[in-house]
Structure 1
Amino acid sequence: MKTKATANVRQRILETAARLFYQQGYPLTGINQLIAEADVAKASLYQHFRTKDEILLAYLQQASQQWFQQVAEATASGTTPKAKVLAVFDMLHDFLVTENFRGCNFQNALLQLPPEETQVRAFIQEHKVRIGRVFNEILNDTALAEEMALLFEGALVSSQTIGNPAPVATARRVTERLL
């Protein structure tokens, strides 16, 4: 059974990892830096995670859970399928302008992982597929949901590339015309 103190240490490690992985990248974040900045003992870190890849996976799992909670909250306010889909694009836009956006943490991690790290890669791929399922649940149209997912992901990557959220606004306008 986990004690509150043990859970707090785990959460502190994950919060520190989230910040460091996002700000400086997975390969440039060392275990010693993570231990120092999380203010935990090396034994405590290894009590919770055997490897840096396990920390990355746990961080991405937590980020995915939070992301889809935000998607659920955004779509709950929509009264039509169109309004729900547009709310997802609005949520992405709001995220990009309120965060110190350094790109999609899932895409960043995927690009930085060694090819042999299949468990984290599989999780990232599943996370990305899930957005298409969200659109399909809203629209009940697989082909249209795939198009929305492509617009969403393309806008996300394009925003990272050019350093501003304009592609999300463009993708939203295209979505509005398609729906």
Structure 2
Amino acid sequence: MRKKVADPKTRILETATRLFYTQGYNATGINQIIKEAEVARASLYLHYQSKEELCIAFLNFRHKYWFDALMKFTEELTDPEEKLMAAFDFLISMNDQEDFRGCAFMNILSEISPADQTIYTIIQHHKQNLRDYLASIFPEQGQLLKDHIYLLFESSMLESHLYRDQWPIIQSKKTIKTLL
């Protein structure tokens, strides 16, 4: 039996995080979040004035969670090639942990309209942080190689989500070894 978190704001965010990631942003209604978080409607709107605001909190939470996990997974490695391969191994680990749900940011992106500028900006910020992190592993390399690495990383996430298989990540690792 799961222990109930006392803080309603935390329960709301944890519930929205789970539901947005597993069933999608548009498929998740406020009523479901209220019911599963076991909070009153007034409590939800006290902490998050709209579903969009709750999505923003979810994306900010997910950004920190994901980058903290990536850093922890790769921090001990000093050899650039080993560190880069470990970043791809991190994707394999996340697929195993999260049942091939893919990138939370791209999942949300596929569900929003271009008018949702705040959410777009948060997603772009997350992806830019990822590009910067991957580029920092090989600072002496040219931008073309850095872009290839980033694009292989992104496509690995997307394709492994689509096929529910690790082969895209494994193949990207092989391609990167050839490029290096």
TM-score by length of 1: 0.91
Q: Does 1:164 align with 2:165?
A: yes
Q: Unpaired runs of 5+ in structure 2? A: none
Q: Which residue of 1 aligns with 2:80?
A: 81
Separation in 2 of the partners of 1:17 and 1:144?
Answer: 37
1:89 CA displacement:
0.3
Q: Does structure 2 retain, via aligned residues, the 8 Å contact 1:97–1:165?
A: no
Separation in 2 of the partners of 1:94 and 1:22?
Answer: 17
Q: Does structure 1 retain, via aligned residues, the 8 Å contact 2:156–2:168?
A: yes
- Equivalent position amino acid for 1:36 in 2: K
Q: Which residue of 2 aligns with 1:53?
A: 52
Separation in 1 of the partners of 2:144 and 2:21?
Answer: 33
Separation in 2 of the partners of 1:103 and 1:80?
Answer: 27
Comparing 91-100 with 118-127, which one deviates more in the overlay?
91-100
Q: Unpaired runs of 5+ in structure 1? A: none
Q: Which residue of 2 aligns with 1:63?
A: 62
Separation in 1 of the partners of 2:50 and 2:108?
Answer: 15
- Equivalent position amino acid for 1:26 in 2: Y
Please show how residues 127-166 of structure 1 align to structure 2 within 5 Å: 127-140=126-139, 141=141, 142-166=143-167
Q: Which residue of 2 aligns with 1:118?
A: 117
Deviations, residues 91-143 of structure 1 (Å, cap 9, x unaligned): 11111122222221111100101221110111011111211100111110333
Q: Does structure 2 retain, via aligned residues, the 8 Å contact 1:159–1:167?
A: yes
Q: Does structure 2 retain, via aligned residues, the 8 Å contact 1:12–1:38?
A: yes
Separation in 2 of the partners of 1:175 and 1:15?
Answer: 36
Q: Does structure 1 retain, via aligned residues, the 8 Å contact 2:100–2:160?
A: no
Q: Secondary structure at the match of 1:156?
A: helix
Q: Does structure 1 retain, via aligned residues, the 8 Å contact 2:95–2:101?
A: no
Q: Which residue of 2 aligns with 1:178?
A: 179
Separation in 1 of the partners of 2:153 and 2:58?
Answer: 22
- Equivalent position amino acid for 1:35 in 2: I
RMSD between aligned residues: 1.5
Q: Secondary structure at the match of 1:175?
A: helix
Deviations, residues 45-103 of structure 1 (Å, cap 9, x unaligned): 11111110111111111111111111211221212111111110011111112222222
